[in-house]
Amino acid sequence: MDATTKLGQPLVRIEHLRHFYHKGTTSGLLVLDDVNLTLKAGEIVGLLGRSGSGKSTLLRIIAGLLEPSSGTIEIEGQPVTGPASQVAMVFQSFALFPWLTVLENVEIGLEALGMPPAERRKHALAAIDLIGLDGFESAYPKELSGGMRQRVGFARALVVHPKVLLMDEPFSALDVLTAETLRTDLLDLWSEGRMPIKSILMVTHNIEEAVLLCDRILVFSSNPGAIVAEVKVELPQPRDRQDPAFRAVVDDIYARMTQKVAGVPQREAFPGTGLAMILPDISTNVLAGLIEMIDGPPYDGKADLPELASKLQLEVDDLFPIAETLQLLRFAEIEEGTIRLTPAGRQFATADLDDRKRAFLQHLLAYVPLAAHIRRILDERASHRAPANRFLAELEDTMSEDYAEQTLHAVVSWARYAELFAYDEATGVFSLENPT
């Protein structure tokens, strides 16, 4: 720790941060609501939340890439007003320059700082060495595996010797083994004090990953994003996923993420309300499968989510959206880490295919406003047809393009199962014609 960080002064301090996205003429979409957080030197802090909860938005604001609607953000006591040189970002996947070698890709960040070429090379080689890429200096990105490419991204972030390293789901695009290796390497470098940084703020949707790496975990709610809980992880490193104390922390976080607070209206599972709700793209096969599993032995209609997740080898961002889709459709209820089938859910479990489709249709129309909306438009039109683009444009008023596509895709697949309307992939047109 150098003298510029006064003892006790937080490295990053965020107070009363709010952010709206404004699109078209619609009123703003609130994605971050009164976020307060401090990051101190020497700690790894995790920001754990569901897709669409505003995690990336928060990181972009801290990095000075996006101006918040209101609130303050300071790094070492200095307000952030533009791209902040004290921070570097690691993304889920990097846009490496395909025509540059590994070494050149790492050096490029230093060019912008105006560093002389010889010094640039020295720094870049050191970062490449540190992150375990030596021998690959002259390789081109296309010659590298996903894990190696991600290492280039890390080297590119570390080479500028940032005070704070911001990581946005840095391991989630990698296969399981590669991710584990990279996590372990990173943690070793950190605990040996070899990383040229003071602290790490990591965004993840993976509970176990957060518990493996972090000293402190901030649990982020969706709709809008806000910090709802702070969990200190006091287990010594290296941590063992099988350790009962480790499992206890994971279970505690699961419970907090599904907690209903008495007297406070429950936050919706998915960001946005009504037509603006971001829906997860989950197939009806998966939904039916989970219903059947919970209905059967040993669960008999009620299951512990962490237990289900480990049995199914799923992570929170995989299991939660499935469970929450069942909740949205009122086939299940989630409370304090437990999922319980509703009477309709239990009926569904034992019904035949036609009855299942009928039940699904009723629930889809009643509880998924977008499905009912599309159906209503198709009913009203003489042609009973409407282009998908029309609905996409409507969704993009309140959500990013990617989330709009995901949401529409989800509703299309559910509607097909329920035979609510048809969609022709080739022409991009919805219709009431029966799909054959």
204 scored as a contact of Mg ion (CB under 5 A): no
Closest distance of CB 168 from Mg ion, Å: 6
46 scored as a contact of ligand ADP (CB under 6 A): no
52 scored as a contact of ligand ADP (CB under 6 A): yes
206 scored as a contact of Mg ion (CB under 5 A): no
Instruction: Compute how many other C-beta atoms are within 10 angstroms of the C-beta atom of residue 274.
Output: 9
Contact string 388-427 vs ligand ADP (x = CB under 6 A)? -----------xx--x------------------------
Residue from 10, 11, 53, 288 binding ligand ADP (CB under 6 A): 53
Closest CA to 209 of 173, 165, 179: 179
Distance of CA 133 to the CA centre of its chain: 28
Pick the piece of the chain touching ligand ADP (CB under 6 A) from 45-53, 93-101, 232-240, 249-257.
Answer: 45-53
User: How far apart (Å, rounded) are the C-alpha atoms in residues 143 and 69?
Assistant: 42
Q: Tell me which of Mg ion, ligand ADP, none is bound by residue 226, counting a contact when its beta carbon lies within the kind-specific cut-off of 5 to 8 angstroms.
A: none
User: How far apart (Å, rounded) are the C-alpha atoms in residues 226 and 222?
Assistant: 7
State which of positions 29-68 bind Mg ion (CB under 5 A). Answer: 56
Q: Tell me which of Mg ion, ligand ADP, none is bound by residue 223, counting a contact when its beta carbon lies within the kind-specific cut-off of 5 to 8 angstroms.
A: none
**Bridging pattern class, strands 216-221 and 226-232:** antiparallel
Closest CA to 210 of 10, 44, 89: 44
Residue from 54, 64, 280, 306 binding ligand ADP (CB under 6 A): 54
Closest CA to 204 of 83, 64, 50, 81: 50
What residues contact 267, with CB distance under 8 A and at least 6 apart? 221, 222, 223
Residue whose CB is less far from ligand ADP, 280 or 345? 280
Closest CA to 163 of 222, 76, 236: 76
21 scored as a contact of ligand ADP (CB under 6 A): yes
Q: Tell me which of Mg ion, ligand ADP, none is bound by residue 403, counting a contact when its beta carbon lies within the kind-specific cut-off of 5 to 8 angstroms.
A: ligand ADP
Structure tokens at 187: 């943690």
Q: Tell me which of ligand ADP, Mg ion, none is bound by residue 150, counting a contact when its beta carbon lies within the kind-specific cut-off of 5 to 8 angstroms.
A: none
Residue whose CB is less far from Mg ion, 107 or 324? 324
Strand partners, 217: 46, 231
* Helices within 258-383 (DSSP H only): 284-295, 305-312, 316-328, 343-350, 353-367, 369-380
Q: Tell me which of Mg ion, ligand ADP, none is bound by residue 399, counting a contact when its beta carbon lies within the kind-specific cut-off of 5 to 8 angstroms.
A: ligand ADP
> Which residues would be at the binding site for ligand ADP (CB under 6 A)?
21, 23, 29, 31, 49, 51-57, 271, 278, 399-400, 403
